[in-house]
Amino acid sequence: MLPKHRPPTHPGEILLEEFLRPLNLSQEQFAKYLGGSWTQPKVSEIINKKRRVTEAIALDFADVSGTSAEFWMNLQNRYDLWFARLEHRDYSLA
């Protein structure tokens, strides 16, 4: 069971701890590997929770990580929903 008192792990932390560090890849190397519009600052923003994982990013991460886009989107959605719940006002009628 997951603890309820702390936010879920951000997908950027998963990227860093489960993929980049074990493969001994720098953010710059990872960005170059992805190519296209990827830059080291863009990777850094995701790792530092300054940028969300979008559908396009999830597809790119899935391609290079052997996971699915759903994996990355679920991480982001859980993270976002946790914070939304903190700010949510209960409108229930009961």
Q: What is the pLDDT of residues 45-70, one digit of tens each?
A: 999 999 999 999 999 999 999 999 99
Please check whether residue 90 lies inside any domain of the structure. no
What pLDDT does 31 receive?
98
Residue 67 lies in a domain: yes
Question: Does the residue 89 lie in any domain?
Answer: no
Please report the pLDDT score of residue 3 as a whole number. Answer: 60
Report pLDDT for 5.
Answer: 83
User: Which amino acid type is present at position 8?
Assistant: P
pTM: 0.88
Residue 70's domain comprises 11-81
Domains held by the chain: number: 1
Looking at residue 89, its pLDDT comes to 80
CATH of residue 34: 1.10.260.40
